[in-house]
Amino acid sequence: AFDLAMSDADDPLIAMSVVEERCWGLIRQGRLAEARELAFRWADDGEPRISADKNELAAWGRLLIRASTAAVRDNEPGQARDALRLARMAAAGTGRDFALPYAPWHVFGPVTVSVTAAENATIQDKPQETLDIATKLTRARLPVRRYAPSHRLDVAQAHATLRQYPEAVSVLQQL
């Protein structure tokens, strides 16, 4: 299916979106090194120029998010951190989260990157970092409804890890 999608991708942004979805599938299959390498390779090839518009920044940033999520799950924290730092730079260039016109089921922007950072902290067993990010996101109001449930589950897990059981239950009740 991905090969067919790539053969139909007549635009670099669509091709990057197909690759990003392929990386998601590889992560779900536990093929973390393959996902990480594919995402990094395409991110390197698709690195935006100074004159890049927000769509180009978003395509590049989403590949970096996939690289980061694969790396953190594959116990490569340095690569995960570096990829997320670059994704954060791309997000700063977009100004705010927005739906991607070439992949309308996805969004990208500063909040998307922060949600990923919280998820990475959860995976790395850094519950206080997850909660610190969540506090900032709560003040910023999470505009990306698609990511809210999984983010809130990360918050509940962080509370439970810190033995803050009433807070964890409260988050779960809100969900």
Mean pLDDT by 10 residues, the chain (175 residues): 77 90 95 97 92 94 97 97 97 92 87 95 97 85 69 94 96 91
Q: Which two tokens stand for residue 68?
A: 């980061």
Q: pLDDT digits over 31-63, tens only?
A: 999 999 999 999 999 899 989 999 999 999 999
Residue 143 pLDDT: 56
C-alpha to C-alpha distance for 142 and 167, rounded to whole angstroms: 19
Instruction: Provide the whole-model pTM.
Output: 0.90
Angle (CA) 52-56-57 rounded to 5° is 80
Residue 139 pLDDT: 65
Residue 138 pLDDT: 76
C-alpha to C-alpha distance for 28 and 22, rounded to whole angstroms: 10
Residue 149 pLDDT: 83
C-alpha to C-alpha distance for 150 and 153, rounded to whole angstroms: 5
Q: pLDDT digits over 17-28, tens only?
A: 999 999 999 999
Determine the angle formed by the axes of helices 54-73 and 12-28, rounding to 10 degrees: 20
Neighbours of 60 (CB within 10 A): 26
C-alpha to C-alpha distance for 132 and 137, rounded to whole angstroms: 9
